[in-house]
Copies of this chain bind each other. A is one copy, B any other.
Amino acid sequence: MARGVNKVILVGNLGNDPDTKYTQGGMAVTRISLATTSVRNDKDGNKQERTEWHRVVFFGKLGEIAGEYLRKGSQCYVEGEIRYDKYTGQDGVEKYTTDIVANEMQMLGGRGDGGGGGGGGNYERGNRPQRSAGGGGDAPQRSAPPQRQAPQQQRPAPMDDFSDDDIPF
């Protein structure tokens, strides 16, 4: 059920390593910053390049996978939906954020720095395949509930403390 369609499809590269946190209930919440660049010709015939930095968030199993396999520079495909949020900053000012809540992810050929794992693999939200964490190779490392990492986006980063309810929405 629902009324309407809210779908986003992105292919881009991560600006930083993923940031994974865990809710009290133990659910992974991974955030990445994903760049997509487009080029247009302005009316003077000059190429104009513009990059959008998308805040993408993965929940649950998908959050674990994203946190484990993606790295700064990784290229990936993301499918999800747009979620607009509003919160009041510590300065008492209302702020707005836009996130892409992913429900599918696919690693693509080109990795960034973090050498590591092989190519691809497509992951959806739901009753997904088992993936032994801490897996092979020089696979990603994950501490338990880690610290936020500096995104460079111009946009606010609302103190994410998640509760289990917060999520799938």
Interface residues, chain A, with chain B CB atoms under 8 Å away:
1-13, 21, 23-25, 27, 29, 31, 35-40, 42-43, 47-55, 59-60, 75, 77, 79, 81-89, 93-98, 101, 106, 108-111, 119-126, 128-129, 146-149, 151-169
Q: Are A2 and B39 in contact, with the CB atoms below 8 A?
A: yes
Report whether A149 and B5 are in contact in the complex, using a CB–CB cutoff of 8 Å. Answer: no
Q: How many copies does the complex hold?
A: 4
Instruction: Return A133 CB to nearest CB of chain B, in Å.
Output: 15
- Contact call A23/B87, Cβ cutoff below 8 A: no
Known: A23-B167, A24-B164. A3 touches B84 (CB 8 A): no
* A164, B141: Cα distance in complex, Å: 20
Beta-carbon nearest neighbor of A38 in chain B = B2
Partner of A149, one of B1, B54, B124, B158: B158
Chain B residues with Cβ under 8 A from A7's Cβ? 8-10, 79
Bound CA span A2–B43, Å:
18
Please report the C-alpha to C-alpha distance between residue A127 and residue B64 in the assembled complex, in whole angstroms.
22
Residue of B nearest to A49 (CB): B149
With A98-B84, A109-B108: A5-B1 Cβ-Cβ less than 8 Å? no
Distance of A111 from chain B, by nearest CB (Å) = 7
User: A122 CB to closest chain B CB, in angstroms?
Assistant: 4
A85 to B: closest C-beta gap in Å = 4
